[in-house]
Every structure is written in structure tokens, then in C-alpha cells.
Amino acid sequence: MAEGGGGNAGGGGGGKGPLGDLVKAESMVQLAILLPAACFIGWVVGAGLDRHFHTGWMEIAGVLLGAVAGFVQIVRTASRYLARSGQ
């Protein structure tokens, strides 16, 4: 019946048609926002820990940890997208 949403019920999106295109676009927007958001959250948490423990290195460690977490999530999302494209 509906070409865009019939096969997307349990597969996590990425089907054909307009709905599948929107899901792919949303996934790419997530990738663009993910790394800066993860770094910002790491920086905020590190700055809070620096103030609490009176240190000066946790802010940098928080940014680095946030960047690593962001890259890991980007790789996971990209590999999931590539696996869907290959089917």
C-alpha cells in the first residue's frame, strides 16, 4: 500500500521512498551535531570536576574523552549506514 513506510516498522528506517530519505538525512544531521556536542559535554563535566577537586587537568581530559566518545559513535553510525546501503 504505502511505498515509503511499509517496510520500516522494525528495521530502524532507511527504507525506500520519501520517509527513508528523511531517516537518512536525520542520521547525517546527527553525525554533524554529535562530535561538537560530545566535546562540549566533556568540557562542562571536566570543568565541574576541576572546580570540585581544585585541579586543572580534568577539563582537558573531559574534552578528550568527549571527542573519543563522539568518534566512536560516528564510526558506529557510519558502519550501520554502510551496512544498510550494501543490502
Q: pLDDT tens across 16-55, in order?
A: 788 888 988 888 888 889 999 999 999 999 999 999 999 9
> Distance (Å, rounded) from C-alpha 15 to C-alpha 17?
7
Q: Lowest mean pLDDT of 8-17, 57-66, 72-81, name the range.
A: 8-17
pLDDT(12) > 70: no
- pLDDT by residue (tens digit) across 71-83? 999 999 888 888 8
pTM of the model: 0.71
pLDDT(14) > 80: no
10 Å Cβ neighbour count for 63?
20
